[in-house]
Amino acid sequence: MNDFLKNLRSNQGYQQQKQYPQKHKNTRNDSKGKNSNQKDGSDAVKVLLEELAPAIKQFLEKVADNQERMVAAHEKKVELLEKIEGNIPEYFRYATGFRKQSRRRNIDERKQKILDMIKKLRDENMTYEEVAEYLDKNNVPTFSGRGRWHAQTIHRLYMYYP
């Protein structure tokens, strides 16, 4: 083994690979010149485009047709969603975050002032519980004139009387 390593280090016994000369074949016909090669290439591109033009046109027509179908389907979807929304019962709207519409009751000025106060406090990012505490601290009477304000009551009033 030592002899092998000595020979390897001193390049003795190491045969170099033969270097073969590289032969290049000249594939270009020099008699034609550069301009004739460019003309042949551009002619080939023109022929190729002429052959592909009908297929490209057909493809683009299919894409346009598919886009029209997608638009029509989207319009139908929007119409159906509008119909569905119009037929959702109130309890589903409430559960999904829709604000309930006003019950159209006659509200006197005192109650309207309280409702406006609740809306203003809610717009200031106060929670329902904080609004109830605020009304109690400021001795704002409930609609019945009895009892105290509760977060659930504030929530109902805020949802029913926007």
More confident site: 74 or 93: 74
Position 72 pLDDT exceeds 90: yes
More confident site: 83 or 66: 66
Residue type, 81: L
More confident site: 1 or 133: 133
Convert the pLDDT of each residue in 88-140 to its tens digit.
666 565 555 555 555 556 778 888 888 899 999 988 989 999 999 999 999 89
CA pair distance 62, 79, nearest whole angstrom: 26
Of all residues in the chain, the percent with pLDDT exceeding 70 is 65
Residue among 62, 145, 149, 66 at smallest CA distance from 108? 145
* pLDDT value of residue 148: 92
Convert the pLDDT of each residue in 9-55 to its tens digit.
676 555 555 555 565 555 555 555 555 555 667 888 888 888 889 99
* pLDDT value of residue 67: 94
Of all residues in the chain, the percent with pLDDT exceeding 90 is 25
Show Cβ contacts of residue 151 under 8 Å, excluding neighbours closer than 6 positions: 127, 128, 129, 131, 132
- Rounded to the nearest integer, the mean pLDDT of the chain is 77
More confident site: 137 or 85: 137
Show Cβ contacts of residue 118 under 8 Å, excluding neighbours closer than 6 positions: 131, 135, 154, 157, 158
* pLDDT value of residue 93: 58
Position 70 pLDDT exceeds 90: yes
